[in-house]
């Protein structure tokens, strides 16, 4: 059973920083290679990928996230992180993590991930 729970969102001023966490039970101790990702969705906008990271530990970032956001994971704590710096009002969105076991042939950034959390709201003013 896979369960994802995000935390760490909040309200910050432009230029500020936040670190989001996603506790992912059932993935890190699961049946092998996995893919995890951060997505965000703002009201009236399409969902967009922020970063993807697999069991190789090498994150891939969306263009807007590169240089400002850092995805990392602590396997011992079953936790995925997203450190966000230089936040702007355009970063305001519901951020959520998603996960699945790697299908063996698709890059994590492209694989459809079946499991997602409820999200944590980030508001930048």
17-52 pLDDT, tens per residue? Answer: 999 999 999 887 766 889 999 999 999 999 999 999
What's the pLDDT at 32?
A: 82
Query: Tokens 């003013």 label which residue?
Result: 125
Q: Residue 122: which of 2, 7, 32, 44 has the closest Cα? A: 7
64-116 pLDDT, tens per residue? Answer: 999 999 999 988 888 999 999 999 999 999 999 999 999 988 999 899 999 99
Considering the chain, what is the average pLDDT of its residues? 94
Burial of 116 (0-12, 13-18, 19+ CB in 10 A): middle
């Amino acid at each position: 059973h896979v369960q994802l729970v995000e935390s760490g969102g909040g309200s910050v001023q432009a230029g500020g920083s936040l670190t989001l966490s996603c506790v992912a039970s059932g993935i890190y101790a699961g049946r092998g290679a996995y893919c995890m990702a951060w997505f965000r969705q703002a009201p009236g906008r399409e969902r967009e990928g922020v970063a993807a990271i697999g069991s190789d530990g090498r994150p891939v970032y969306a263009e807007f996230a590169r240089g400002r956001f850092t995805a990392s994971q602590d396997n011992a704590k079953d936790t995925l992180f997203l450190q966000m710096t230089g936040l702007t009002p355009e970063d305001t969105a519901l951020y959520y993590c998603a996960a699945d076991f790697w299908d063996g042939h698709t890059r994590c950034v492209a694989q459809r991930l079946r499991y997602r959390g409820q999200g944590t709201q980030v508001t930048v003013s």
